Amino acid sequence: AQSVTQPDIHITVSEGASLELRCNYSYGATPYLFWYVQSPGQGLQLLLKYFSGDTLVQGIKGFEAEFKRSQSSFNLRKPSVHWSDAAEYFCAVNDAGGTSYGKLTFGQGTILTVHP
């Protein structure tokens, strides 16, 4: 069965600093990978996704992620964090490709705190 690990439960950065949130997955086939963000009182919002092709994917709000098959990783990055980025971030993998679309398996989430 596939699994997703986010090693960091809580990360604190200063506003303007760079950010990297780690995500490792375990999946037999080529994974479909996602990063979601949940701000307080809001639903999960998709930041970016990787299905195939270019391993560096750009998302919304200035985020990017790099798929590294050799390391089974899909780390999320942002060069300069804004106070509004404080939220909880989830990495997820989809267990189906082709013509179907299956359930998402999530990591434990990483809470990001941004100091002024």
Partner 1 sequence: EAGVTQFPSHSVIEKGQTVTLRCDPISGHDNLYWYRRVMGKEIKFLLHFVKESKQDESGMPNNRFLAERTGGTYSTLKVQPAELEDSGVYFCASSRQGRVPPRLREQYFGPGTRLTVT
Instruction: Look up residue 45 and give its amino acid.
Output: Q
What is the smallest separation between the CB atom of 79 and partner 1, expressed in angstroms? Answer: 25
Positive or negative torsion for Cα 40, 20, 81, 10 = positive
Only one of the segments 10-18, 43-51, 58-66, 79-87 lies at the binding site for partner 1 (rule: CB under 8 A); that segment is: 43-51
Query: How far is residue 87's CA from residue 40's CA, in Å, rounded to a whole number?
Result: 7
Q: Which is nearer to partner 1, 85 or 107 (CB)?
A: 107
Query: How far is residue 49's CA from residue 33's CA, in Å, rounded to a whole number?
Result: 6
28 interacts with partner 1 by CB under 8 A = no
Query: How far is residue 84's CA from residue 98's CA, in Å, rounded to a whole number?
Result: 36
35 interacts with partner 1 by CB under 8 A = no
Q: Which is nearer to partner 1, 81 or 105 (CB)?
A: 105
109 interacts with partner 1 by CB under 8 A = yes
Supply 82's token pair.
């804004």
The site for partner 1 (CB under 8 A) is made up of: 4, 32, 34, 36, 41-46, 49, 51, 90, 92, 97-98, 101-109
